[in-house]
Amino acid sequence: MPNALLVYPKNPVTFWSFDEALKIAGKKCSFQPAGLLTVAGMLPERYAPRVIDENVEPLRDTDLEWADVVLTSSMIIHLDSLEEIIKRAKEHRKPVLSGGPLATQYFNDIKGDATFFLGEAEAGFVDTLDEIVRQRFIPGKRVVDKRKKFESLNNTPLQRFDLIKDNLQKYASMAIQITRGCPESCTFCNIPSLYGKKTRLKSASDVIQELQLLYDLKWRGSVMIVDDNIVGNQTAIIPILKETAHWQERHNYPFSLHTQGSLRMYEDPKLMDAMYQAGFNLVFWGLESPAAESLKAMGAQKNLQATNERGRRSMLEKVREIQKYYFRGQAGFIIGFDADPPDIAKRMKAFIDESRISVAMVGPLGVLPDTPDWIRYSRDNRLVESVRYNGDSGLFAKELSYIPRYQDGSEMDPEIVLGRHREVVQHINSPENYFARTLDYINHRERKPIRQTRIDFANFKAAFRSFYYQGIKSDYKKTYWDYLWKVASHDLRDIPDAITYAVEGHHLITLTKKGLEEFKGKIGLEKSV
- Domain's final residue, options 145, 172, 200: 145
Alpha helix positions (H), 279-343: 292-297, 315-325
- 417 lies in some domain: no
Shared-domain flag, residues 175 and 210 = yes
7, 92 in Cβ contact below 8 A? no
- DSSP class of residue 122 equals G
The partner residues of 282 in beta bridges, in order of sequence, read: 258, 328
315-325 vs 344-355: helix crossing angle, rounded to 10: 20
Return the pLDDT at 521. Answer: 52
- DSSP class of residue 219 equals -
Shared-domain flag, residues 110 and 191 = no
Number of domains present in the structure of the chain: 3
Shared-domain flag, residues 197 and 342 = yes
Return the pLDDT at 520. Answer: 72
- 464 lies in some domain: yes
255, 220 in Cβ contact below 8 A? yes
Shared-domain flag, residues 224 and 323 = yes
Shared-domain flag, residues 103 and 168 = no
The per-residue b/e assignment along 137-156, b for 16 or more CB within 10 angstroms, e otherwise, is eeeeebebebeeebbebeeb
- 404 lies in some domain: no
Shared-domain flag, residues 440 and 313 = no
Give the count of alpha carbons within 13 A of 164, CB side only.
Answer: 34
Return the pLDDT at 524. Answer: 47
- 379 lies in some domain: no
204-216 vs 234-250: helix crossing angle, rounded to 10: 30
Q: What is the DSSP code string of 221-255?
A: EEEEE--S-TTTTHHHHHHHHHHHHHHHHHTT--E
The residue segments making up the domain with residue 121 are 3-145
Print pLDDT tens along the chain (529 aa): 999 999 999 999 999 999 999 999 999 999 999 999 999 999 999 999 999 999 999 999 999 999 999 999 999 999 999 999 999 999 999 999 999 999 999 999 999 999 999 999 999 999 999 999 999 888 899 999 999 999 999 999 999 999 999 999 999 999 999 999 999 999 999 999 999 999 999 999 999 999 999 999 999 999 999 999 999 999 999 999 999 999 999 999 999 999 999 999 999 999 999 999 999 999 999 999 999 999 999 999 888 876 566 667 899 999 999 999 999 999 999 999 999 999 999 999 999 999 999 999 999 999 999 999 999 999 999 999 888 887 665 578 889 999 999 999 999 999 999 999 999 999 999 999 999 999 999 999 999 888 877 778 888 999 999 999 999 999 999 999 999 999 999 999 999 999 999 999 999 999 999 999 877 755 444 443 3
HEC sequence for 415-467: HHHHHHHHHHHHHHCCHHHHHHHHHHHHHHCCCCCCCCCCCCHHHHHHHHHHH
Rounded to whole angstroms, how far apart are CA atoms 55 and 11?
A: 7
- 353 lies in some domain: yes
- 401 lies in some domain: no
Shared-domain flag, residues 37 and 125 = yes
Q: Provide the CA 126 distance to its chain's centre, in angstroms.
A: 27
- Domain's final residue, options 359, 389, 414: 359
Give the count of alpha carbons within 13 A of 149, CB side only.
Answer: 14
Shared-domain flag, residues 236 and 351 = yes
Return the pLDDT at 392. Answer: 62
Shared-domain flag, residues 100 and 42 = yes
Shared-domain flag, residues 351 and 493 = no
Shared-domain flag, residues 192 and 90 = no
- Domain's final residue, options 338, 359, 380: 359
Rounded to whole angstroms, how far apart are CA atoms 99 and 261?
A: 25
Return the pLDDT at 113. Answer: 96
Rounded to whole angstroms, how far apart are CA atoms 379 and 105?
A: 19
Shared-domain flag, residues 251 and 205 = yes
| Contact residues for 503 (Cβ-Cβ < 8 A; gap 6+) | 21, 24, 25, 462, 466, 470
For residue 184, give the CATH number of its domain: 3.80.30.20
| Contact residues for 159 (Cβ-Cβ < 8 A; gap 6+) | 34, 37, 38, 40, 41, 176, 210, 213
Alpha helix positions (H), 76-233: 79-91, 101-106, 125-135, 191-195, 204-216
- 430 lies in some domain: no
Task: Determine the 3-state secondary structure of 66 from DSSP.
Answer: helix
- 453 lies in some domain: yes
